[in-house]
């Protein structure tokens, strides 16, 4: 058990690392962040920020010597970095757990190996394979880069074999996954934590609404049946166990119009759709991440009230700082800004949550606040 007073290492300096850092320091830990961005949001909140590349030998020596455990805030940390650190200090989640999640093809194949369903897909590594894959998957479909795609980036909808070839070439000819676009009723997600002893806890299921491939709003509790919620939690637990995972993770799902539950993606880290836990749960996902990697007992995941979380993207800063007056006028609205120096379209700059007793009313109030910004 790693107790307060010791130093926790964080690979990555974005908003997820920032909120982890706040939670860890609140609990009495020190935090050492490694991130190449000198102005990283997490680095500015940490006890110390190592401004260096993830493969920098000196920086990794510092982390290994000074940290009791090291964790990550995004899945694409180089495997060599994780393996180098793991020789001298616990790394949670381990490099092996992240291997499946760093490539969409490996990820979906792994999910199916657990007996769970995904949308029909094919791995594509050449232009000729792209055309053939469309015949196998069927249209309409979407071609996604196998690695490094997020928030709708690196994805192109396609509706014919020739369009699939063109999309593959426009994505740079890198390995991709072609996925059938299912008839979608709803997207949901489950955030869970798995400890060093294999014990797990799940948070309430979130219902997610996207705009242009980016999460816009999470509604909790999700408007699903108890059977659907239970199936999603069971699938998420099976994935965490299959990965021998330690830490905080999220699993995203599709619910089709036919009622079928399909696994979409695994996020081996805290997740945007789990930000509601900061205000509406007994224990936030970030405190739970600290507890999981330190071998502490888990905190209560109970939902204290219905809640809606809304993302704030850089588009809102086009004419300067947004007018926050409508948000602050609402007594149950909670604003979280990430400390990013530059606002860009599509960039996550913050979020807000609205709490209340009646879910439908909370949704209406959250939409009104967002519309006033």
Give per-residue pLDDT as tens, 268-304. 999 999 999 999 999 999 999 999 999 999 999 999 9
Of the listed ranges 29-38, 129-138, 262-271, 290-299, the one predicted with least confidence: 129-138
User: Average pLDDT in the 243-252 region?
Assistant: 97
pTM over 0.85? The answer is yes
Express as a percent the part of the chain with pLDDT over 70. Answer: 99
Q: What gap in Å lies between CA 153 and CA 171, rounded to an integer?
A: 10
User: Is residue 128 scored above 70 in pLDDT?
Assistant: yes
- 11: alpha, beta or left, given left = phi > 0 and alpha = psi -120 to 50? beta
Q: Average pLDDT over the chain, rounded to whole? A: 94
Vertex 302, ends 299 and 303: CA angle to 5°? 135
- Amino acid 165: pLDDT: 87
Residue 211: how many other CB atoms lie within 10 Å:
11
pLDDT-derived band at 37 (thresholds 50, 70, 90) equals very high
51 neighbors 34 (Cβ within 8 angstroms):
no
147 neighbors 125 (Cβ within 8 angstroms):
no
The pLDDT tens digits for 150-205 are: 656 788 898 888 888 888 888 888 999 999 999 999 999 999 999 999 999 999 99
- Amino acid 278: pLDDT: 98
């Amino acid at each position: 058990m790693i107790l307060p007073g010791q130093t926790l290492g964080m690979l990555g300096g974005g908003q997820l690392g920032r909120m982890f850092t706040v939670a860890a320091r609140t609990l009495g830990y020190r935090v050492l962040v490694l991130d190449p961005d000198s102005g990283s949001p997490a680095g500015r909140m940490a006890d110390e920020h190592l401004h260096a590349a993830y493969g920098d030998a000196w920086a990794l020596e510092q982390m290994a010597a000074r940290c009791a455990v090291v964790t990550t805030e995004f899945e694409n940390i180089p495997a060599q970095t994780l393996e180098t650190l793991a020789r001298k200090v616990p790394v949670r989640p381990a490099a092996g757990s992240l291997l499946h999640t760093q490539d969409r093809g490996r990820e979906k194949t792994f999910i199916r190996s657990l007996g769970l369903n995904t949308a029909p897909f094919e791995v594509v590594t050449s232009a000729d394979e792209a055309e053939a894959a469309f015949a196998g998957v069927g249209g309409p479909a979407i071609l996604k880069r196998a690695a490094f795609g997020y928030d709708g980036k690196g994805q192109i909808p396609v509706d014919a074999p020739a369009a699939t070839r063109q999309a593959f070439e426009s994505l740079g000819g890198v390995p991709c996954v072609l996925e059938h676009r299912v008839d979608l009723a709803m997207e949901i997600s489950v955030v869970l934590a798995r400890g060093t002893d294999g014990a797990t806890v799940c948070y309430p299921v979130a219902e997610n609404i996207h705009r242009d491939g980016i999460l816009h709003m999470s509604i909790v509790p999700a408007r699903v049946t108890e059977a659907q919620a239970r199936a999603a939690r069971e699938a998420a637990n099976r994935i965490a166990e299959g990965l021998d995972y330690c830490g905080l993770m999220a699993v995203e799902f599709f619910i089709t119009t036919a009622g079928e539950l399909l696994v979409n993606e695994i996020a081996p880290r805290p997740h945007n759709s789990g930000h509601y836990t900061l205000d509406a749960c007994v224990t936030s996902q970030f405190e739970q991440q600290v507890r999981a990697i330190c071998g502490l007992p888990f905190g209560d995941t109970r939902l204290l009230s219905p809640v809606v979380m809304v993302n704030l993207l850089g588009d809102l800063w086009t004419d300067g700082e947004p007018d926050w007056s409508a948000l602050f006028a609402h007594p149950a609205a909670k604003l979280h800004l990430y400390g990013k120096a530059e606002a860009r379209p599509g960039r996550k700059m913050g979020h807000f949550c609205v709490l209340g007793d009646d879910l439908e009313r909370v949704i209406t109030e959250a939409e009104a606040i967002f519309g006033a910004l």
